[in-house]
Amino acid sequence: MKYNTQMEAAKAGVITKEMEIVSEKENMDIHKLRDLVAKGLVVIPANKNHESISPEGIGSGLRTKINVNLGISKDCPSIEKEIEKVKMAIDMKAEAIMDLSSFGKTEEFRKKIVEISPAMIGTVPIYDAVGFYDKELKDIKAEEFLDVVRKHAKDGVDFVTIHAGLNKETVNTFKRNKRLNHIVSRGGSLTYAWMELNNMENPFYEYYDELLDICREYDVTLSLGDALRPGSINDSTDASQIKELITLGELTKRAWEKDVQVMIEGPGHMAINEIEANMLLEKRLCHGAPFYVLGPIVTDVAPGYDHITSAIGGAIAASSGADFLCYVTPAEHLRLPNLEDMKEGIIASKIAAHAGDIAKNIPGARNWDFAMSEARQNLDWEKMFKLSMDPEKARRYREESMPHDEDSCTMCGKMCSMRNMNKVMAGKDINILRDDD
């Protein structure tokens, strides 16, 4: 029997080739993984038309994954430059790439990255709608929005962000509870604008069953977008955010009834002391569905350094249950990131994800750190470089300031604690002022 989605197969007790690959990557029992997929606690985004994909799992008991955003825009329309970013993301082993293109030859770019990328590919179809139809936003018909989703699914996209939780009821909550920063989600603001301009219900909510049918046909994972995520710490955990989250929980159950895999998207900007509670709240209200967060960014005053503000929040979020981190670059809030911005954002996000995995006791997470600590104690510089998250930078930093004694560095020299403890523990004398024998 042929199964349309990973969830449908898992519910039937069937183990797919994608499950086998994820089981091996995660060192998780295949039957346990299958059961988690059946319950919706793990998703394996893998469109039937994405032939180059190396499947990854997102969710309970698995390593925290990271996503890289990129894409062409009206001000920066070069497909070639964005392809360079795709290749960097792949080289740096990001598990997911989101194509957020909003101008020009979006189809050409989307198909190209699906063709070359082993990483899962995500999109936000509403970004593409204006250019796809060459119409102003208010003139696009409800069914036309769904047709764009269908096009992305057919092109091989593995997950789509859809802001289906922003219905009329949620909008009324938003209108009654004023914010400092209104709606900061690009897709959310477009959806809200369309609803207001046409005095109609959100088409993705009104025709949610048709949307699920599209996702089911191609096994596209539905990433339920947080249109009302906070865009400043002033607006976090407010009535609008929570009202939408409750709606997303209801939509999650409806998706599972049709065997459609679901992720939930989350904040946003948020003070550190609110992060853990938000992770627990999402897991409760959305029935344990995998949680995909942007940041959270823990302070609003560090433009140019938001990869750091995001990594702080991301580490806390991951340690508290978040399953998927969207990277943030130093260019966030300022401009489209370049290659160097991307690299810094990816590394910062990977640090946050790994720190979270250690705290969650993901099997094997500490092994990497153990190996690094062992190499440091042995003063094995080559092994340290190989184990580094960014080997090139680690090697370059050492070579820029070489010590007189190769078994130390220019910070401590012969007062190096590792060097001296090795000697003492071996019953040897310590020669700080004298030359080595």
Residue stretches of the annotated binding site for [4Fe-4S] cluster: 409, 412, 416
CA atoms within 13 A on the CB side of 361: 0
Rounded CA gap, 254 and 270, in Å?
29
Beta partners for residue 161, in sequence order: 223
Annotated binding site: 69, 98, 127, 163, 185-187, 226-229, 265, 269, 292, 333, 409, 412, 416
For the record, the structure tokens of 72 come out as: 């062409």
User: Are 275 and 281 within 8 A, CB to CB?
Assistant: no
Closest CA to 430 of 377, 419, 375: 419
User: Are 140 and 198 within 8 A, CB to CB?
Assistant: no
The DSSP symbol for 136 reads -
User: Are 301 and 233 within 8 A, CB to CB?
Assistant: no
Angle at CA of residue 171, ends 260 and 182, nearest 5°: 105
Q: Residue 176 burial (CB < 10 Å; 0-12/13-18/19+)? A: exposed
Q: Which backbone phi and psi does 150 adopt, to 5 degrees?
A: -60, -40
Closest CA to 245 of 202, 287, 193: 287
Annotated binding site for Zn(2+): 269, 333
- Whats the size of the chain, residue-wise? 437
Q: Which backbone phi and psi does 162 adopt, to 5 degrees?
A: -130, 125
The label of the residue with tokens 């955990």 reads 237
Residue 174: Cβ within 10 Å count: 22
Rounded CA gap, 19 and 38, in Å?
11
CA atoms within 13 A on the CB side of 333: 18
Q: Which helix (H) or strand (E) holds 390?
A: none
For the record, the structure tokens of 66 come out as: 């990271």
Annotated binding site for substrate: 69, 98, 127, 163, 185-187, 226-229, 265, 292
Tell how strand 324-326 and strand 291-294 pair up: parallel
Angle at CA of residue 186, ends 303 and 78, nearest 5°: 75
Q: Does residue 20 sit in helix, strand or coil?
A: helix
What are the E-state strand segments in 232-313? 262-266, 291-294
